[in-house]
Each structure stands twice: as structure tokens, then as C-alpha cells.
Structure 1
Amino acid sequence: MATNVWQRTREGIMQLWRRSQPHRTEIIAAELETSREEAPAALTVDDQGTLNELRTQ
């Protein structure tokens, strides 16, 4: 279920980027994937620095 929600959210974000700044769409997609991987890892080890950085993105 979480994966399905993530996919729908990601696609919605990407649609907004395609409309407003299509030249940045691939960069944003890569950043979303990186954040998706970093967040659970940072939570596991209580890495507040990484979590704060992800929040500001």
C-alpha cells in the first residue's frame, strides 16, 4: 500500500514539474528517488542531520 501511495504522489509531483519546468523533470525524479532511499536509512540510525536536510528539500 505504501508503495502505491508513493507512486501516485511521485507521479503527481512529476506532472507539476513537467508543466512548469519540463527541462528539470529528470533531475527532480532522480532527487525524489534519492530522498526515498535516504529517509528510511536516516530514520533507522536516527541521523537528524540527514533528516533535517531532507525536510528542507
Structure 2
Amino acid sequence: MLLVGNYSEFHMVASWATISVNYLARHTGRAPQQIIAQYETDIIAAWEDLTWYKCHS
């Protein structure tokens, strides 16, 4: 289970991810679901790294 420092941080990351997926979808002509499926592992890894850093800094 992933830990979230507070709602504001979660909202910021979620907003960034949504904007990024929509940008990639628009400029590649692919559906957002395809973008998410392709990068799902990277997105999860980045979130886990951020969570680890927040817990250990």
C-alpha cells in the first residue's frame, strides 16, 4: 500500500499525471488507456520512489 503525505501532495501528483497522459495521448494519437498501460510500471515505480523519499528524508 502506498503512503501519501497529505491530500495536497497527492492531488498535485495526480494532476501532473493526468496532464501528462492527456498530452501524450493528444500528440501520439493514442487513447489515454494505451498510454497508461504502456507506462504503468514506470508510474508505479516513480510513485514508490517518491513515497520512500518522503518517508526517509
TM bucket (normalised to shorter chain) is 0.3 to 0.5
Query: Scaled by the length of structure 2, what TM-score is found?
Result: 0.47
Q: Which has the higher helix share?
A: 1
Q: Which has the higher contact order (CA 8 A, sep 6+)?
A: 2
